[in-house]
């Protein structure tokens, strides 16, 4: 420890905190937008310093905004408009003119990580004074949307000035596979983790529900006394867990009262500055609060965690922050544990032996379900409360544990009025150890017998229940658990719904089947085959494609010219089924794929028809049932009759041969719409054309003409305008003139040896193709026909 006189003048100190809120039922409710409500909290924080607020505002050089829900994901929206630069909008309202404005990434850990970061910048002399704020007005926006359109305010605002926007920061929080199965929302994700913890403890449903109620009942008492709380009502454990019309089960095991409350109007702010700047502003040192310890760690992505019931990064962050402060948890008087869902609190309590009735209390605000869960900004309120408490009891310590994602990102701060030098943490070293832990392999498209690892049932207001399962495939030979998957249970599958709704589903054997819409879980194989039959053959007609058989040749035409032959889930499903049938049919030896009309082979993924999670409803075999197919044992010719863009180009790349109309063009423009050519383009294009050209196409969206594509090796032949299908048929006839056994064996060998780097090793490996051919009837027929000077009669065997 140190005295104030011994401190480095750049030591950061918190000098002011402020909160503001309004409820719809308040007599003075003003329906404030984000910027105005945030300005109230910032003004309170500046005033809280005891200095002249206007003079203090003038010295703030950095303003950082915690990201609000309106801009927290790519799918977020601001229905009533918002500022283009929220930090500077709030600064303008409060007399600040910062040289730096920051928009933090998504995550409930950001209030603490921002404070640690900006404290460090003050400590190294690159900043003198900063304000951190966050705000949510979700309740107001939803209420105002119920008004007629001409009676709604417009919160749109344009402010000049630089803005350091750090983006969404969602990497590692949710995967494409999880979104595809409805896990883009945190509620079912946390419910899955909660049920995993219940199972680990060996608790039945009723016992565990009571434990959640007993954990959160003390939180309601704190919220009831907090003037900023959204739900200031004390409740018993029984009230919290009793299922009723007003407290329905939203996701097993959670009732509505056990989860974070997002319909709030709340804002909070913190002012942090150097000792020198605080002294120059005349701020009483008795109002100074020091950040004694801090840490920031990241958990493994949910689907990779060895144990879904725990998140070791959170207790590790708390332990390290306490170590940096030089104290233990027993030395802490005031606690605020992030409480979006019970497991977030239990995760810390389990590691440190904390009880729900700990005399210190586990929350300083009342917790997210009762005080309110203002988006990513909850912990700014927690910091404000902890700062206020340690000021009242000088020398005591307070701790804030912040959480973001799905027990994913963790930040901890240790606070006290006791003067201390700035201390660096060693979170990076601890993160390296955490990252070295084992992880579980994931599979996006799962098929086979499996075991339930955890589950949840979500319920709509109408009573419809939908199940979600995280499971592990079982090795058919050993019965050992292998790769992890997420799957869904359809609401009309009463057998599976009943299994998840009673008793102990975890550990039960089930059967999972991949479908174009995702993994579907059933009680057993027979049920899966009945509910999700796999049709192997050709239908009489298709809605989005056309097929034509001509002897050993199959022609497949994408029939969506109005959409430039772009593929939506239904078209992809039909193509996937047709190619399943093609590769299984012994009488079909060559296939041609083309697009209807003369404008487009395919524009790839139909973005207009695949909004939201449907954008990921692609068969496990990829676009057109080809781009991710593990084996294509018979030739597929792409007859490119117009442009092949994005997924359309990737489909062509997945074919064995590409012939093109002279007016055709090829390109991967995904980067221009914020996507990437992840359906094979990033891998196949650099293997098909010179790497410099591939990088040019991938990074810029550059298109190649048919002539350029042929020169680069992407296209094998070019047809005069309007005759590409004739050319493809001619090429198919040339292939059909050869032995189908030889063609198939050659394809297999080329695929197998492609991964062998050494050329001589690859040549030696390729000779195995002769082992296949030497016993084939077609090989004898081919040699005999050559010797007798007659056309061979191939059988395909």
Q: Supply the pLDDT for residue 760.
A: 80
610 pLDDT more than 60: no
**What CATH number was assigned to the domain covering residues 448-531?**
2.40.50.840
CA distances from residue 401 to 98, 119, 348, 378, 463 in whole angstroms, order as listed: 29, 17, 9, 11, 36
**Does the annotation count 650 as an active-site position?**
yes
pLDDT bin (cut points 50, 70, 90) of residue 145 is very high
Q: Which of 650, 734, 748, 781 is catalytic?
A: 650
d(CA 611, CA 621): 21
The stretch 616-620 carries a mean pLDDT of 72
The stretch 488-492 carries a mean pLDDT of 91
Least confident of 49-63, 69-83, 322-336: 69-83
Q: What is the mean pLDDT of the chain?
A: 93
Q: Supply the pLDDT for residue 613.
A: 47
Q: Supply the pLDDT for residue 709.
A: 96
- For 119-138, how does the pLDDT look when each residue is reduced to its tens digit (9 = 90+)? 999 999 999 999 999 999 99
CATH superfamily membership of 545-736 = 2-enoyl-CoA Hydratase; Chain A, domain 1 (3.90.226.10)
Q: Supply the pLDDT for residue 741.
A: 86
Q: Supply the pLDDT for residue 282.
A: 96
The pTM assigned to this predicted structure is: 0.88
Q: Which of 786, 691, 692 is CA-nearest to residue 738?
A: 786
The stretch 97-117 carries a mean pLDDT of 97
Q: Supply the pLDDT for residue 759.
A: 79
| Class (C level, CATH) for 4-178+256-435 | alpha beta
167 Rama class: left (phi>0) / alpha (psi -120 to 50) / beta: left
Q: Supply the pLDDT for residue 614.
A: 47
The stretch 337-345 carries a mean pLDDT of 98
pLDDT bin (cut points 50, 70, 90) of residue 606 is confident
pLDDT bin (cut points 50, 70, 90) of residue 152 is very high
- For 721-737, how does the pLDDT look when each residue is reduced to its tens digit (9 = 90+)? 999 999 999 999 999 99
Tokens of 729: 């048929």
Q: Supply the pLDDT for residue 611.
A: 52
Of 622 and 174, the one with more pLDDT: 622
**Does the annotation count 70 as an active-site position?**
no
Of 169-178, 486-495, 743-752, highest mean pLDDT:
486-495
Running DSSP on this structure, what letter comes out for residue 511? Answer: E
Of 200-209, 517-526, 535-544, highest mean pLDDT:
200-209
For the chain, percent of residues with pLDDT exceeding 90: 81
Q: Which of 34, 136, 178, 670 is catalytic?
A: 670
pLDDT bin (cut points 50, 70, 90) of residue 75 is confident
- For 371-407, how does the pLDDT look when each residue is reduced to its tens digit (9 = 90+)? 999 999 999 999 999 999 999 999 999 999 999 999 9
The stretch 7-18 carries a mean pLDDT of 97
116 pLDDT more than 70: yes
615 pLDDT more than 70: no
643-671 exposure pattern, b = at least 16 Cβ within 10 A, e = fewer: bbbbbbbbbbbbbbbbbbbebbbbbbbbe
The stretch 763-776 carries a mean pLDDT of 74
Q: Supply the pLDDT for residue 669.
A: 94
DSSP bridge pairs for 135: 267
CA distances from residue 50 to 15, 132, 278, 283, 391 in whole angstroms, order as listed: 9, 18, 11, 6, 13
543 pLDDT more than 80: yes
- For 250-290, how does the pLDDT look when each residue is reduced to its tens digit (9 = 90+)? 999 999 999 999 999 999 999 999 999 999 999 999 999 99
Q: Which long-range contacts link 779-783 to residues 24+ away (Cβ below 8 Å)? A: 779/739, 779/741, 779/742, 781/739, 782/739, 782/742
Q: Supply the pLDDT for residue 536.
A: 83
The DSSP H or E segment spanning 617 is: none
């Amino acid at each position: 420890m140190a005295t104030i006189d011994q401190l480095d003048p750049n030591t950061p100190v918190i000098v002011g905190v402020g909160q503001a809120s309004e409820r719809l039922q308040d007599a003075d409710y003003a329906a404030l937008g984000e910027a105005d409500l945030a300005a109230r909290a910032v003004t309170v924080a500046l005033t809280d310093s005891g200095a002249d607020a206007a003079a203090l505002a003038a010295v703030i050089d950095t303003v950082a905004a915690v990201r609000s829900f309106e801009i927290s994901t790519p799918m977020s929206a601001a229905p009533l408009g918002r500022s283009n630069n929220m930090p500077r909008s709030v600064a303008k309202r409060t007399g600040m003119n910062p040289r730096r404005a920051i928009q933090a990434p998504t995550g409930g850990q950001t209030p603490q990580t921002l404070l640690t970061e900006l404290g460090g910048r003050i400590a190294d002399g690159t900043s003198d004074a900063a304000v951190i704020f966050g705000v949510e007005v979700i309740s107001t926006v939803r209420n105002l949307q119920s008004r007629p359109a001409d009676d709604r305010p417009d919160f749109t605002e344009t402010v000049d000035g630089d803005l350091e926007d750090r983006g969404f920061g969602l990497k590692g929080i949710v995967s494409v596979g999880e979104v595809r199965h409805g896990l883009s929302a945190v509620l079912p994700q946390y419910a899955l983790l909660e049920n995993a913890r219940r199972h680990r403890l060996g608790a039945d449903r009723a016992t565990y529900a009571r434990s959640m109620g007993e954990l959160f009942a003390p939180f309601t008492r704190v919220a009831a006394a907090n003037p900023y709380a959204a739900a200031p009502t004390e409740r018993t454990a029984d009230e919290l867990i009793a299922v009723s019309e007003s407290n329905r089960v939203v996701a097993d095991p959670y009732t509505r009262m056990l989860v974070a409350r997002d319909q709030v109007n709340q804002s909070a702010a913190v002012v942090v500055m150097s000792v020198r700047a605080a002294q120059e502003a005349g701020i009483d040192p008795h109002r100074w609060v020091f950040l004694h310890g801090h840490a920031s760690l990241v958990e493994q992505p949910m689907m990779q965690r060895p144990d879904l019931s725990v998140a070791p990064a959170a207790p590790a962050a708390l332990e390290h922050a306490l170590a940096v402060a030089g104290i233990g948890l027993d030395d802490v008087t005031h606690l605020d544990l992030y409480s979006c869902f019970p497991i977030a609190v239990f995760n810390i309590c389990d590691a440190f032996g904390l009880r729900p009735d700990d005399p210190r209390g586990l929350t300083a605000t009342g917790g997210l379900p009762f005080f309110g869960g203002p988006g990513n900004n909850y912990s700014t309120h927690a910091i404000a409360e902890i700062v206020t408490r340690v000021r009242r009891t000088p020398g005591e310590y307070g701790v804030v544990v912040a959480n973001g994602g799905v027990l994913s990102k963790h930040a901890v701060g240790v606070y006290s009025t006791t003067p201390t030098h700035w201390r660096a943490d060693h979170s990076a070293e601890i993160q390296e150890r955490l990252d070295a832990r084992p992880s579980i392999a994931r599979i996006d498209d799962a098929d086979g017998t499996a075991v339930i690892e955890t589950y949840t049932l979500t319920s709509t207001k109408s009573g419809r229940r939908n199940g979600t399962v995280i499971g592990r495939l079982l090795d058919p030979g050993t019965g050992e658990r292998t790769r992890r998957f997420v799957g869904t249970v359809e609401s009309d599958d009463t057998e599976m719904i009943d299994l998840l709704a009673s008793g102990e589903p975890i550990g039960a054997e089930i059967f999972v089947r991949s479908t174009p819409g995702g993994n579907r879980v059933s009680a057993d194989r027979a049920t899966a085959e009945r509910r999700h039959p796999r049709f192997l053959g050709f239908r009489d007609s298709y809605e989005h494609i056309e097929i034509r058989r001509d002897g050993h040749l199959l022609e497949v035409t994408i029939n969506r010219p109005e959409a430039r032959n772009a593929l939506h889930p239904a078209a992809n499903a039909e193509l996937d089924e047709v190619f399943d049938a093609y590769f299984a049919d012994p009488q079909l030896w060559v296939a041609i794929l083309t697009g209807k009309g003369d404008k487009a082979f395919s524009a790839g993924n139909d973005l207009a028809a695949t909004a939201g999670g449907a954008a990921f409803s692609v068969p496990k075999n990829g676009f057109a049932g080809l781009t991710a197919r593990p084996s294509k044992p018979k030739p597929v010719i792409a007859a490119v009759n117009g442009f092949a863009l994005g997924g359309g180009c990737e489909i062509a790349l997945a074919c064995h041969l590409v012939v093109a109309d002279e007016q055709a063009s090829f390109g991967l423009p995904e980067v221009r719409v914020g996507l990437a050519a992840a359906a094979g383009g990033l891998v196949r294009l650099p293997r098909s054309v010179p790497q410099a050209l591939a990088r040019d196409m991938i990074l810029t969206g550059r298109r190649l003409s048919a002539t350029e594509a042929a020169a680069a090796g992407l296209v094998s032949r070019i047809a005069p305008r309007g005759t590409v299908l004739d050319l493809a048929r001619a090429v198919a006839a040339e292939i059909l003139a050869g032995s189908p056994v030889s063609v198939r064996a050659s394809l297999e060998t080329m695929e197998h040896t492609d991964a062998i780097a050494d050329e001589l090793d690859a040549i030696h490996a390729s000779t195995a193709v002769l082992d296949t051919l030497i016993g084939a009837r077609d090989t004898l027929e081919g040699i005999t026909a050559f010797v007798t000077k007659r056309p061979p009669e191939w059988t395909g065997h």
